[in-house]
Amino acid sequence: MTEPERGHNRAALDAASVREAYRRWAGVYDVVFGGVSAFGRKRAVAAVNALPGRRVLEVGVGTGLALPQYRRDLEVVGIDLSRDMLLKARDKVSEQRLSHVHGLLEMDAENMAFAPASFDTAVAMFTASVVPDAHKLFAEMSRVVRPGGHMLFVNHFAAERGWRWWIERTMAPAARVLGWHPDFMLSDLLPEGCEPDKAEACPPIGLFTLVQVRRG
């Protein structure tokens, strides 16, 4: 796929499309997607729990599937563009008495209202490929994380060749109806010259990858 084609695909997923997609899926998201995303989510939260610092931002918190898994001494704030998904997350916080969750806010991940260096860690699970511009997402996460802090991403990143490459590009038009890019590349997220500190495939079949970047 050429670079212009990748840029066109990202632009096709605007904020209104994302809101509408998740408005439709909010009621059944946990049942339909909770299982397939469980391993990546567990790996990401375990990585966050092992890092220093207490202030954690979860970008694209969705229905709050990850919230019960964070260490109870952390101060977790979650943001999401979808009000419908946030309502589900708030129900979880209330029902499970998740006192370590300090806020769930409706907010655009590409234009956050937080001051610079507000958090020790920011994590985005299955979010990078559904925002209109993942490079803006990365820049905003970098802005709100303190120097020396960490940014973590769990996402499906497209293969560059072979049978999986062909399948992912065949799936792409239909998958966008769900607000998901199966042809999303790691280069669509990381700025030029940025190398992750860690990138590891999540079990059981490596469909998702955990990427960790230290804020320089």
- Cα–chain-centroid distance for residue 145? 15
**Tokens read off for 84:** 């419908």
Positions of the chain with pLDDT lower than 70, given as ranges: 1-18, 20-36, 159-182
pLDDT at 96: 97
pLDDT at 1: 29
**Tokens read off for 163:** 């049978």
Look at the block and give the residue holding tokens 């439709």. Answer: 24
- CA atoms of 203 and 176, how far apart (whole Å): 25
What is the per-residue pLDDT across 86-100, written as a single tens digit (0 to 9) for each? Answer: 999 999 999 999 999
Whether the full predicted model's pTM is greater than 0.75, yes or no, is yes
> Phi/psi of residue 78, each to 5°?
-120, 145
Q: Where are the domains of the chain?
A: 3-214
pLDDT at 12: 42
Count of all residues that appear for the chain in the document: 216
Q: What is the CATH number of domain 3-214?
A: 3.40.50.150
Q: Number of C-alpha atoms within 13 angstroms, CB side, residue 184?
A: 29
Element (H, E) at 170: helix 162-175
Starting from the edge strand earliest in sequence, which strands make up the sheet with 101-106, in order? 101-106, 75-80, 55-59, 119-125, 145-155, 209-214, 198-201
- Cα–chain-centroid distance for residue 52? 20
